[in-house]
Amino acid sequence: MVKLHLSSVKTMKVFLGVFITAFNRFLNSFLDIYNTYPYAKDRPVKGYVQLLKVLIYFLGGITMIAILVGQNPVTIFAGLGAMAAVLLLVFRDAILGFVASIQLAANKMVKPGDWITVPKFNIDGTVEDISLTSVKIKNFDMTITTIPTYSLVSEAMINWIGMTESGGRRIQRSISIDMTSVRFCDEALMKKLRSVPRLSNLFSSVNSETGKSLDSDDHKRSNFDNLTTITNLSLFKEYIERYCSEHQGIHANMTKIVRFLQSSEKGLPIEITVFSKFQKTEAFESLQAEIFNHILAVLPEFELCVFQNPSGNSPPSIGNVQ
């Protein structure tokens, strides 16, 4: 009778081990096959599969113990109620990760391949893998950062997928103009700017706001009662707008704004907001440098100055010359 009992226990243990192993391999196969479908990239299920594995191993372990001690598994499960606090502590990351995985998948917040930024953890890179308890991110400095899955839900995160899918990448920078260099355009400046290719047709066109030509007598007068008199700053703004509209690297169908920001003791900022056709960092930074190199180089042609704090290399002003 004892031999029969021991043989029966051994058989049940083997059967349970085979069942757990087979189910684990079934889940692995299911995950591998699922990942071959196109929609798997948008709806990762690795976290759910890992949760099922945890449950199977947990239930299998309890059942194995029940077989060894000769007790009903239901009795052991009932006894685990007193250990609920311990179980919550042990499986805390798994529970939080499971809830976070549901939120991430249901709301399509992040998926493998997305470029994300998490300021709290100084993360800026591409998501490599999302599991039940952790997310692996490959930063652009080639380092690997691993954070808990629930951190993507509980902490502030920036997902750049919208920018990637839009076909453009925003350039938004400003330069500060020295306000003492802003003045009305006299005839000499108008004559010089008339030869600028992007402004040549402006002087012969009709201003849509005033209904008067920029070559008319109203624009040439420099008295303060003339509201249509143009300044070197307004012409510079017009030049930037035309330059951005004609540039081949700037997205023509996306936002292009050149505006004045609030002036301060650091000058009058002119903010330029456009969208680059290039999204890769190398080409994007090259385009951004090209645009602002050109703007800074053409600024003196409008007799404008960039504001910057005086340094030890700054020449003395005329009033200080002895």
In this predicted structure, what is the pLDDT of residue 175?
Answer: 92
Assess whether 149 and 171 both reside in one domain.
Answer: no
In a domain, residue 310? The reply is: no
13: nearest Cα among 61, 53, 54, 56: 61
Assess whether 184 and 211 both reside in one domain.
Answer: yes
Assess whether 178 and 127 both reside in one domain.
Answer: no
In a domain, residue 149? The reply is: yes
Assess whether 125 and 149 both reside in one domain.
Answer: yes
In a domain, residue 105? The reply is: no
279: nearest Cα among 172, 173, 110, 164: 164
Assess whether 238 and 287 both reside in one domain.
Answer: yes
Taking residue 251's Cβ as centre, other Cβ atoms within 10 Å add up to 19
In a domain, residue 192? The reply is: yes
Cα separation of 150 and 135, whole Å?
Answer: 9
147: nearest Cα among 157, 160, 133, 158: 133
Assess whether 133 and 177 both reside in one domain.
Answer: no
In a domain, residue 98? The reply is: no
In this predicted structure, what is the pLDDT of residue 171?
Answer: 92
In a domain, residue 271? The reply is: yes
Assess whether 196 and 251 both reside in one domain.
Answer: yes
| CA dihedral (307, 308, 313, 318) positive or negative | positive
Cα separation of 237 and 199, whole Å?
Answer: 11
Single out the residue in 50, 75, 90 at which a domain terminates. 90
CA dihedral 163, 165, 166, 171 (to 10 degrees): 30
In a domain, residue 153? The reply is: yes
pLDDT per position in the chain (322 positions), as tens? 344 455 666 677 677 778 888 888 888 888 888 888 776 766 777 777 877 887 787 777 777 777 777 777 766 666 666 566 666 677 777 778 777 877 787 677 888 888 899 988 999 999 998 887 889 999 988 899 999 888 888 888 899 888 878 888 999 999 999 999 999 888 888 888 887 777 766 665 534 444 455 555 554 444 444 445 688 998 899 899 999 999 999 998 898 999 999 998 889 999 999 999 998 888 999 999 999 999 999 999 899 999 987 755 455 544 443 3
* Domains: count for the chain: 3
Query: Which residues make beta-bridge pairs with 135?
Result: 130, 147
Cβ atoms of 207 and 214 within 8 Å: the answer is yes
Assess whether 292 and 229 both reside in one domain.
Answer: yes
Assess whether 127 and 73 both reside in one domain.
Answer: no
Single out the residue in 73, 90, 107 at which a domain terminates. 90
In this predicted structure, what is the pLDDT of residue 322?
Answer: 35
- Which residues does 202 contact at the CB level (< 8 Å), separation at least 6? 214, 235, 238
Which range of residues forms the domain containing residue 130?
115-160
Assess whether 154 and 234 both reside in one domain.
Answer: no
Assess whether 186 and 200 both reside in one domain.
Answer: yes
Assess whether 183 and 280 both reside in one domain.
Answer: yes
In this predicted structure, what is the pLDDT of residue 36?
Answer: 82
In this predicted structure, what is the pLDDT of residue 1?
Answer: 39
Residue listed under structure tokens 């594995």: 53
In a domain, residue 6? The reply is: yes
In this predicted structure, what is the pLDDT of residue 293?
Answer: 94
CATH code assigned at 142: 2.30.30
Query: Which residues make beta-bridge pairs with 259?
Result: 271
Helix (H) or strand (E) holding 233: helix 232-246
